[in-house]
Amino acid sequence: MSDGYELDPTTLEAVAGKLRNASTTLSGVDLGQGPPDAGNLTDLMAGVMTKLVNDTSELVAGAGAAGDQVAKARQEYLDQEQRVREDLSVD
């Protein structure tokens, strides 16, 4: 059984990048020119599309925020590792 924990900063950087890229990609989705003409269902389709746009906006914000938090956690881990190295090297 090992003591403590270990994280791979490269993996954390990759995860943060993928989350941020997903956010950027989703934010660039073309939402079209409005609801399609669906005859009697046009109003219903407009409601569905509005819901999808709103949910996508939340997903964009969430993925971006998650990427930022993973990057922050990575940096905090690296900073703590450096402090420990410095403490151990003190005579």
**For residues 47-69, average pLDDT:** 90
pTM > 0.75: yes or no: no
- Residue 36, pLDDT score: 78
Calpha distance 71→43 (Å, rounded)? 42
> Where do the structural domains in the chain lie, given as residue ranges?
43-91
Length of the chain: 91
In the predicted structure, residue 1 carries a pLDDT above the cut 50: no
Q: What is the pLDDT of residues 16-36, one digit of tens each?
A: 999 999 998 888 877 667 777
Q: What are phi and psi of 6, to 5 degrees?
A: -145, 135
Q: What is the pLDDT of residue 62?
A: 93
